[in-house]
Structure 1
C-alpha cells in the first residue's frame, strides 16, 4: 500500500473532484479533511461511511482510506506533522496539550465524521476560511504563530466533539455507521454496549446484529468495542495523571483488577508497565 509523505510541517490542499484519483493509501502525517460540498462514500480502515457537505474527518498516519465520489465534491485537506504541536518554549502542563495528544493518539480508530452539530461544523469552517487566508501569507513572520493557534483551536473543537459524553439518539437504520457512532458515544457506559441492548436499540435480533456487524467490518462486535476501549485507555495512561482506579471507574469496569486483566489480554502488558515503558 502506498504511503504519502509530507516534506513540510504543514500544508493545505483545496480541490474539487468528480472522480477520486488516488488508490487506497496511508500517510506519514495527520489530515483534517473538510467536505465543503458534494456527497459520496469515504472508506476508512476497511469501514464505509457516507459523507456529505459539512462533514469533517481526522486521519492519522496509520489510517488508510479512499473516496468513492457520487456527486462532484469540494475537499480541503489540512495536512500536518505532529511536530507542529510541539512548542518547547511553552509550559509542558498547559491544559490543551494532553487533550490534543489524546485526540491525535486515538485518530487511528475507524470513525466517520467527527462533528454532527451544525453550529460546531460552522465554527470549524470559519476557522478553515481564516487559516486558508493566512496560508496565502505563509512567508510572513507572524504566519506560524497564527497557523498554530488556528490549528490548535480546530483540534480542540474536534476533541470536544469526539470525547463528548452527551447521549445522542442513534440512527436506527441498516448502516453499520450508526452502530459505530453509538458505540463511540457510549464507550464509557458498558451497560449500553451489551449485544442485547444494541439489538434492542437498532431493532435487530441479538444473533443477527453480531453477524451483520462482522460482515460489514470484518471484526466481531464484542472485539471492536473492547479494542476501541483499550485504545482510549492507552491514551489515558500516556497523557493523563489519572490512577488505574480512576480510569477503571471512568470506563465502567467493576474494579481495577478487571481493567488490568483485560488490558493485559489485549496488549500483552499490564497498564502500569505500559505507562512506565512509555
Structure 2
C-alpha cells in the first residue's frame, strides 16, 4: 500500500504460470514481503542488512544480511528498513520439494515444517548467526547465476544445487520448533534409514518383521511411521535404494552383473534383472551398454 518494489530482472508476480522452481532478486525498503502462491513455499534471503521484520504473531526480528525466512502462502511479514536492501528468494512448488527430499532423511524434517500449514510464521525464521556460511554461498551463487531465468528446475547445475539447499535447510529449521514426540519419530526414521544403508547387501535384515524387532515397534506402526515421514512405503524405499547401488556399480565398476548380484545380496541374476528392468525399463546389461555409448552422454 504505497510502497514501491523494484524487481529485477523480472517481477515475481509477472510469471504466468509459476514454474516448479523460480529464483528472483529485488530491492525494497519497507512494506509487506512478497509471499508465494498456493502449493508453493519460498526461501527468502536478505542479501543486505534489511533492518527489522515482524510477522502476524507480533514478533519482531533483526534482519541483517544472511537472515533466512521460509514463507508460506498465508504468511504476513512486514519489513522496516531505513535504506534500500536487496532480497532474493527460491520459490518452489511442494511437488518440487517432494522430488528433492524423497528418500532422504531430511524428508522427516520437512514433514514437521509442513505441519504448520500455509503460514509458518516464526517457525520459518532463521537468524543469520545460525545460517552456515556454505549455505549462504550456495544461495548467493544460485541468485547470481539464475535470478529471473526460466527453466531453472531443469538446469543441470541449478537443480542439484537447489536440492542441496533444501535438504540442508530442513534440519536447521525443524528441530527448533518441533514437538518432542515428532522429534523422536523423526529420529527413529533417521536411524531406520542409516540401518538400511548399512545392511543394504543383507536383505534378510531388511524384512519388515526384522526391522520392527530391531527398533522395538510393531510392523504396522513402523511401516506407517516411515511412510508418514518419507512419503514413500518402507519396502519401496528399500528396493529403490538397493537398485541405486546396482546402478552405481554398473556405472563405476567392472564387475559382471552376476558379481554385482552376489555382492549386493540378490537371490540370483534373474532376480536382479527382473527388479532392475521393472524400475529402469532396461536389463542391467542393456543399461550399462547404453551408458557407455558416447552418444548417450548429455552435456545440457
TM-score (norm 1): 0.49
- Per chain length, whose mean CA-contact separation is higher, i.e. which structure has more relative contact order (CA < 8 Å, sep 6+)? 2
Length-normalised TM-score, structure 2: 0.46
